[in-house]
Amino acid sequence: MARIVLSGDELEGLEIDEPAASVRLLLPPPDGDRLVIPAWSGNQFVLPDGDRAPIRTFTPRRLDPSERELTLDIVVHEGGAASDWASSAAEGDEVAISGPGRGYEIDPTASDYLLVGDETALAAIAQLLEVFAPTTQVTVHVEIADPSARLELPPHPATTVAWHELGEGSAPGSTLVDVIAGLEEVPAGVWIAGEAASVQKIRKNLFDERGLARARATVRGYWKLGRAAT
């Protein structure tokens, strides 16, 4: 995981009111280190050479309006434009952001919550833990591909956290699919994010097999194995 702190006067006026919101990050083109602002072609943002602009979605982990700083936690993995950029970024490098995209509205009537995700969901899970009422019982399950991804999560008095290490060769999200399949009861509030195919299996379990009302659970695909984000 690379923690990136963006700063600049351009952050003036940015407001993020909900946890687990998103921002879009425009990266420099792969063959250059200077940012190129793309044009809207009608259905996508393109660079002057016609290539699709490298834009990726991240959770604004922390916004500090007084310092005009925005912190992102970016998972470092094999062969990704954002991952490559984040692992070699240096002070002074330029990116652009747009947003925020809508976050998650906590159900204040839910006495217990289940938060489930992989490393890409850690920033959102951390934010949710910061805003739950102290009396809400929260169970967290996080899948990590590498033990070093285990972060200290914000303290919450009624939370239990389980870390699941993904075995080599296992499909991403498979430990989380097993967690959901093994639940005896589903808590009143549910927030889940991770790899698209695994969250699809989780949706099937919760909504089709258990008949959970869709309004009770937010289940989001944050990335897709084998496909670059657009």
Ligand X SMILES: Cc1cc2nc3c(=O)[nH]c(=O)nc-3n(C[C@H](O)[C@H](O)[C@H](O)COP(=O)(O)OP(=O)(O)OC[C@H]3O[C@@H](n4cnc5c(N)ncnc54)[C@H](O)[C@@H]3O)c2cc1C
Q: Angle of helix 174-181 relative to helix 196-203, nearest 10 degrees?
A: 10
Does position 211 bind ligand X by CB under 6 A? no
**Are the C-beta atoms of residues 164 and 139 closer than 8 Å to each other?**
no
d(CA 22, CA 187): 25
Site track for ligand X across 11-40, x = CB under 6 A? -----------x------------------
Find where tokens 């833990």 sit.
129
Does position 132 bind ligand X by CB under 6 A? no
Amino acid letter, 135: T
Amino acid letter, 211: G
Angle at 151 between CA 146 and CA 152, to 5 degrees: 155
d(CA 41, CA 43): 6
Q: Which of 73, 125, 173, 198 binds ligand X (CB under 6 A)?
A: 73
Q: Alpha carbon 219 to chain centroid distance? A: 12
Does position 56 bind ligand X by CB under 6 A? yes
Q: Provide, rounded to whole angstroms, the least separation between the CB of residue 88 and ligand X.
A: 12
Does position 229 bind ligand X by CB under 6 A? yes
| Residues within window 75-94 making contact with ligand X, judged by CB under 6 A | 75, 77, 79-83
| SS3 label, residue 214 | helix
Q: Provide, rounded to whole angstroms, the least separation between the CB of residue 103 and ligand X.
A: 9
Site track for ligand X across 101-120, x = CB under 6 A? -------------------x
Q: Within 10 A of 204 (CB to CB), how many other CB atoms are there?
A: 13
Does position 52 bind ligand X by CB under 6 A? no
Does position 226 bind ligand X by CB under 6 A? yes
> Hey, what are 108's tokens?
């204040």
Q: Provide, rounded to whole angstroms, the least separation between the CB of residue 44 and ligand X.
A: 14
Q: Provide, rounded to whole angstroms, the least separation between the CB of residue 121 and ligand X.
A: 7
Which residues contact ligand X (rule: CB under 6 A)? 22, 56-59, 73-75, 77, 79-83, 120, 123, 222-229
